Amino acid sequence: MNTEPPPFGDPTNINRENAAAVKKGVAVGCGGCLAVILLAIGFVASIFFIVMLFMRGADASVESLKRAQNSPQMKEALGEPIQMGWWVMGSFNSTAEEGQANLTIPVSGPRGSASIQTEATKEKGTWNYTRMTAELPTGTTVDLLQPLPSP
């Protein structure tokens, strides 16, 4: 019988230490990567959320929604209340005196949804709308720049 100790310690203890190290490596190593990935996703999501809030609150978006809510054709097609969706797309920039907007604004009501195309420029602090049309689910296009009929 060999009385010399094993060269690297007790084999059962080594197996336990290896297993513990692997578990710790998985928990810390992958958990660390997972934390970085989750932080990156959270950062991108917050940027997206802030941009969407900005686009939804833009003068051109608010005016488009207001005109859609006051349009008899939109009320008939979508029902009431008409609300703005989250996925506002396009471009918008504005200062106190100048700006431009080219937006696609989703709106919906109890009976369906539509998309408003808005194009506008801002000169000397006043927005001038060149296009504000809504595409209804039926395929009909509603010009929201036309004056509303008198009651």
Say whether both 47 and 108 belong to one domain.
Answer: no
81 and 28 together in one domain: no
- Residues 25, 82, single domain; the answer is no
Output the six-digit token pair for 106. Answer: 């989703």
Spatial distance between the Cα atoms of 43 and 94, rounded to a whole number of angstroms: 25
Same structural domain, 50 and 34: yes
Whether the Cβ atoms of residue 90 and residue 102 lie closer than 8 Å to each other: yes
What domain range includes position 12? 7-57
Q: Check whether residue 46 and residue 98 sit in a common domain.
A: no
Prediction pTM value: 0.68
Look at residue 107 and tell me if it is in a domain: yes
Alpha-carbon torsion, ordered 71, 72, 78, 79, to 10 deg: 120
Number of independent structural domains in the chain: 2
105 shares a domain with 72: yes
CA–CA distance, 143 with 137 (Å, rounded to integer): 15
| Statement: residue 151 has pLDDT above 70 | no
pLDDT at 21: 66
How many CB atoms lie under 10 A from the CB of residue 106?
A: 15
69: closest CA among 87, 61, 55, 81?
Answer: 81
- The whole-angstrom separation of Cα 87 and Cα 85 is 6
Q: What is the pLDDT of residues 73-125, one digit of tens each?
A: 899 989 999 999 888 888 888 888 898 999 999 999 999 899 999 999 999 98
Distance from C-alpha of 107 to C-alpha of 121, rounded to nearest angstrom = 22
Packing angle between helix 31-57 and helix 59-70, nearest 10 degrees?
A: 60
Asked whether residue 19 is assigned to any structural domain, the reply reads yes
26 in a structural domain: yes
Kindly report the CATH number assigned to the domain that includes residue 97. 3.10.450
CB atoms within 10 A of CB 132: 22
Please state, in angstroms and rounded to a whole number, the distance separating the CA atoms of residues 59 and 105: 12
Q: Are 117 and 130 in a shared domain?
A: yes
